[in-house]
A and B are shown apart, each in its own frame.
Chain A
Amino acid sequence: MELNAKIPSGPIEGKWEKHIFEMKLINPTNKRKYSIIVVGSGLAGAGGAASMAELGYNIKCFCYQDSPRRAHSVGAQGGINAAKNYRNDGDSVFRLFYDTVKGGDYRSREANVYRLAELSVNIIDQCVAQGVPFAREYGGLLDNRSFGGALVSRTFYARGQTGQQLLLGAYQALERQIGLGKVKMYPRHDMLDLIVIDGRARGIVARDMVSGELEIHLADAVVLATGGYGNVFFLSTYAKGANGTAIWRAYKQGAAFADPCFTQIHPTCIPVTHEHQSKLPLMSESLRNDGRIWVPKKKGDKRPPNEIPEEERDYYLERMYPSFGNLAPRDISSRAAKRVCDEGRGVGKTGLGVYLDFRDAIERLGPDVINDRYGNLFEIYERIEDEDPYKVPMRIFPATHYTMGGLWVDYNLMSTLPGCFVIGEANFSDHGANRLGASALMQGLADGYFVIPYTIGDYLGSTKFEKVSEDHPEAQAAKAAVEDRIKRLLSINGKRTIMSFHRELGRIMWEHCGMSRNRPQLEEALQKIPALREEFWENVRVPGAKEELNQSLEYANRVADFLEIGELMNLDALEREESCGAHFREEYQTEDGEALRDDENYAHVAAWEYAGEGKKPIRNVEPLTFEYVPLARRSYK
């Protein structure tokens, strides 16, 4: 497989502008002759669908939720980065670019990251114009806060609901186009396969989740904006319905899957408390602006936190990383939390937790200011833990939050399968081996509002399309394959529930392919997962019928794919024999326990190519070059 990233030539500052000029344009009146399918309605999907509709294309947009407004971008709390330098603190497009490449531990593509930093500025403007109620100062200007991995204050926010507000902005733009008839929306639809005709993505097979009917939808291009696959871990900060099915089916049809093992484990989530837990809610990273993280110095110290005197507390992030302190990047903060818990200094019933303490900030700023900044987050915490964080420090622990890996895309955000574009978290390109806080919203909107509307035109304008119909044998074959799989799932009638398989898979992933990894563990997982998958197909029980609303069937389809995705993640982690960002291989670490990269052998993207059922996928490589941010050991000390 050839991996041509199609990075424009010339200096990095001018690449995107030059590329825009060089891309084919389509006459405005001809745009309405093209149709595009967008799967997913989060920031990338809704933003992309709305923007392409504004240009005149005919869009069909699909989401599994009952309304596009519920896509899980809605869950992002803390903020969105933009290199506005409104603080006069030395920020610039180049600094945001630099921080993001460094934060990703030099495993992202420079040209894409630069474009992201460049577009960050337009995103804020766009959202303000849509009426997103960002936080403001008394003078009426936009406020900022700080986020991990940066020494400037460039994060814009709307209380603790930034993702919700940005998503509603994109959703409203989308609804406007629905009202104007340019977008046809298909809520409660599950994409179950990609239709490829003559080597090009030309449509999808979707299941109407209310009637259970399988539908064929055809178009000139397909844009996947279906988010990440982190629910492979069962417990995560993702929405329960979030899944990897769309990108996994595209992978099986020929789209390469890049760096699947790069998974973000977010340091500040609510810890596991009981065996039936279904979700680990996020506590925004923004809390680390004012909260201080600590554990007792003594092992097994069971005293209540407020009775532990100052000198017996270990503010370990401040101690280990004095220049970034509590704002150390996520991968580093998570690993540090794991380390202190492994030492037996973790807190809470399970010993898997650390304190996030606001005592000093409340003393310094008063409870009103803290309430203004984090009120809703404190309330979420109080609801779940039944403790008041104004009085008792929060207990937090890392949890799966985001996948930096995803389908491989070129500079135009097209996968290795022509006509199949991938935007937002579903692709791999911008965050390398670790994503910085407040960058996911930025990437989703950059891809949706400002990249895909241009690059899709170039593809459509330079491609000749044969007319295809639903009777096309490829379309019918894809539909038949989906139908077979559904019938098979419903006919197993075994003795175990779908959730029990998902939980077991999650446990394997967390233990073997979580915050730290090593060869024997990964090799063991590569035995366990196929065995579990085999059992799933023999012993799962999926109740109900196919021609009805059947949540069990929806779930079984997703878990069946997770059982394959998990295996690829372990394989990728095994074959990347270095530590970088969130991928920490215990065999490769410095004396002080930091990630040890191997730039000579692994400064590349691993893009996995499907080789057929039961065959080992092929590992292709896209070398990464660092011209503008010279390779260096990442340090936050």
Chain B
Amino acid sequence: MNITLHVWRQKDAKSKGRFVKYEANDIIPDMSFLEMLDVINERLTLEGEDPIAFDHDCREGICGTCGLVINGRAHGPRARTTACQLHMRSFKGGDVIWIEPWRAKAFPVVKDLIVDRSAFDRIIAAGGFISAPAGSAPDGNAIPIPKENADLAMDAAACIGCGACVAACRNASAMLFTASKVAQFGLLPQGQPERDVRVKRMVAQMDLEGFGNCTNHRDCQAVCPKSVSVDNIARLNRDFIRSTLVADRRAAVGVGSAG
């Protein structure tokens, strides 16, 4: 089948970008969306043009590297599907497809369809962990965890950090991403000692990075390739409020900054 593409091209972070039109001919329905872009890039290379830069790595929907807004929707038309798992059979001959990078102040464009998502790493570094240095752990079965909790924690932990939630949100909020980590640890006994300080620090970092606030439109959940639920945002909000109400335990017991 033959398809027309309008692809966002932008030389680097400082340059102005624009859409460029490409014809994608003889596309096989079994191809993945990224394989279709590979074919275009092979052609551009031979024609002496600069190939389209796009992020990708595992091509099986788990690493979270790829991220394209396809016809206005993060990761394209199929629910619960990353761009790399999207196949051309989801389109038909004659279709016109618009491809853009994630658009958010906190995710500046690096080149073409590639953005800088390092803000996510900094949110994790601020508190998205359980402090458990190697060698210090008790037996794995020492603390039983109800299956329901473990399952809910796993649902939250399924986040692949792709950033679709931010791209889809009208406020470019990173609430779903942040909440998925806060909720995962909040649901587990191991996560309790740092529960208050974790949510405070992660939310503070999220604000510092320039992500917007959540106004409950749930676009994030709709585009999340791993179906991470907005229930986790409710969990984050509850934890956040709680953390502001309870006295800072660290201050109470005389512990300084984390370390």
Interface residues of A (CB under 8 A from B): 47, 50-51, 54, 65-70, 72, 74-75, 84, 86, 122, 124-131, 133-142, 156, 158-159, 161, 163-165, 168, 171-173, 175-176, 178-180, 185, 187, 210, 237, 239-241, 273-274, 276-279, 281-282, 379-380, 383-384, 386, 449-450, 453, 495, 497, 499-500, 541, 543-544, 548-549, 551-552
Q: Are A67 and B125 within 8 A (Cβ)? A: no
Nearest CB in chain A to that of B131: its residue:
A176
Q: Are A543 and B50 within 8 A (Cβ)? A: yes
Nearest CB in chain A to that of B191: its residue:
A131
Q: Are B154 and A133 within 8 A (Cβ)? A: yes
Q: Are A278 and B59 within 8 A (Cβ)? A: yes
Q: Are B125 and A178 within 8 A (Cβ)? A: yes
Q: Are A65 and B59 within 8 A (Cβ)? A: no
Q: Are A171 and B124 within 8 A (Cβ)? A: yes
Q: Are B53 and A384 within 8 A (Cβ)? A: no
Interface size class of B (residues with CB under 8 A): 35 or more
Chain B positions within 8 Å of A161 at CB level:
62, 158
Chain B positions within 8 Å of A180 at CB level:
258-259
Q: Are A129 and B137 within 8 A (Cβ)? A: yes
Q: Are B129 and A176 within 8 A (Cβ)? A: yes
Summarize B's interface: helix, strand, loop or mixed: loop
Bound complex: CA of A142 vs CA of B153, how far in Å?
Answer: 14
Nearest CB in chain A to that of B126: its residue:
A179
Q: Are B158 and A125 within 8 A (Cβ)? A: no
Q: Are A380 and B51 within 8 A (Cβ)? A: no
Q: B45 on the interface (CB 8 Å rule)?
A: yes
Given contacts A69-B124, A175-B121, list 13 more A-B pairs with CB under 8 A: A66-B116, A70-B58, A72-B63, A122-B135, A130-B190, A137-B147, A158-B157, A165-B157, A173-B129, A241-B57, A380-B60, A380-B85, A383-B85
Q: Are A450 and B134 within 8 A (Cβ)? A: yes
Chain A positions within 8 Å of B170 at CB level:
none
User: How near does chain A come to B87, taking the closest CB pair, in angstroms?
Assistant: 7
Q: Are A175 and B129 within 8 A (Cβ)? A: yes
Given contacts A125-B138, A549-B12, contact A239 B57 (CB under 8 A): yes
Q: Are A65 and B138 within 8 A (Cβ)? A: no
| 28 residue pairs A–B, Cβ–Cβ below 8 Å | A54-B134, A69-B161, A70-B58, A125-B137, A125-B138, A125-B140, A126-B134, A128-B140, A128-B190, A131-B188, A136-B146, A142-B140, A159-B154, A163-B62, A168-B157, A175-B121, A176-B125, A179-B125, A187-B121, A274-B31, A380-B85, A383-B87, A386-B87, A450-B135, A499-B38, A541-B45, A551-B53, A552-B45
Q: B46 on the interface (CB 8 Å rule)?
A: yes
User: How near does chain B come to A402, taking the closest CB pair, in angstroms?
Assistant: 15
Given contacts A133-B153, A274-B28, A543-B45, contact A141 B141 (CB under 8 A): yes
Closest 4 CB pairs of A and B: A140-B144, A129-B137, A172-B129, A179-B125
Interface centre among B49, B134, B136, B185 (most CB of A within 10 A): B134
Q: B89 on the interface (CB 8 Å rule)?
A: yes
User: How near does chain A come to B193, taking the closest CB pair, in angstroms?
Assistant: 11
Nearest CB in chain A to that of B205: its residue:
A179
Bound complex: CA of A106 vs CA of B110, how far in Å?
Answer: 49
Interface centre among A122, A187, A239, A282 (most CB of B within 10 A): A239
Interface centre among B56, B137, B160, B184 (most CB of A within 10 A): B137
User: How near does chain B come to A158, taking the closest CB pair, in angstroms?
Assistant: 6
Q: Are A549 and B111 within 8 A (Cβ)? A: yes
Chain A positions within 8 Å of B53 at CB level:
549, 551
Chain B positions within 8 Å of A210 at CB level:
110
Bound complex: CA of A278 vs CA of B11, how far in Å?
Answer: 26
Chain A positions within 8 Å of B57 at CB level:
65, 70, 72, 239-241
Chain A positions within 8 Å of B207 at CB level:
none
Bound complex: CA of A469 vs CA of B139, how far in Å?
Answer: 46
Interface centre among A139, A159, A185, A240 (most CB of B within 10 A): A240
Q: Are A66 and B141 within 8 A (Cβ)? A: no
Chain A positions within 8 Å of B136 at CB level:
129
Bound complex: CA of A141 vs CA of B139, how far in Å?
Answer: 11
Nearest CB in chain B to that of A168: its residue:
B157
User: How near does chain B come to A623, taking the closest CB pair, in angstroms?
Assistant: 34
Q: B42 on the interface (CB 8 Å rule)?
A: yes
User: How near does chain B come to A205, taking the closest CB pair, in angstroms?
Assistant: 22
Chain A positions within 8 Å of B85 at CB level:
380, 383-384
Bound complex: CA of A590 vs CA of B145, how far in Å?
Answer: 50
Chain A positions within 8 Å of B178 at CB level:
none
Bound complex: CA of A65 vs CA of B21, how far in Å?
Answer: 29
Chain A positions within 8 Å of B143 at CB level:
128
Q: B30 on the interface (CB 8 Å rule)?
A: yes
Q: B61 on the interface (CB 8 Å rule)?
A: yes
Nearest CB in chain A to that of B136: its residue:
A129
Bound complex: CA of A137 vs CA of B55, how far in Å?
Answer: 38
User: How near does chain A come to B226, taking the closest CB pair, in angstroms?
Assistant: 9
Nearest CB in chain A to that of B36: its residue:
A276
Residue B150 contacts which of A135, A379, A548 (CB distance < 8 angstroms)? A135
Q: B120 on the interface (CB 8 Å rule)?
A: yes
Chain A positions within 8 Å of B46 at CB level:
495, 497, 541
Chain B positions within 8 Å of A130 at CB level:
129-130, 132, 190
Q: Are B50 and A276 within 8 A (Cβ)? A: no
Q: Are A75 and B128 within 8 A (Cβ)? A: no
Q: Are A133 and B157 within 8 A (Cβ)? A: yes
Residue B154 contacts which of A158, A274, A549, A552 (CB distance < 8 angstroms)? A158
Residue A172 contacts which of B28, B110, B128 (CB distance < 8 angstroms)? B128
User: How near does chain A come to B187, taking the closest CB pair, in angstroms?
Assistant: 8
Bound complex: CA of A67 vs CA of B125, how far in Å?
Answer: 12
Q: B212 on the interface (CB 8 Å rule)?
A: no
User: How near does chain A come to B12, taking the closest CB pair, in angstroms?
Assistant: 7
Q: Are A497 and B131 within 8 A (Cβ)? A: no
Nearest CB in chain B to that of A177: its residue:
B125
Chain A positions within 8 Å of B235 at CB level:
none
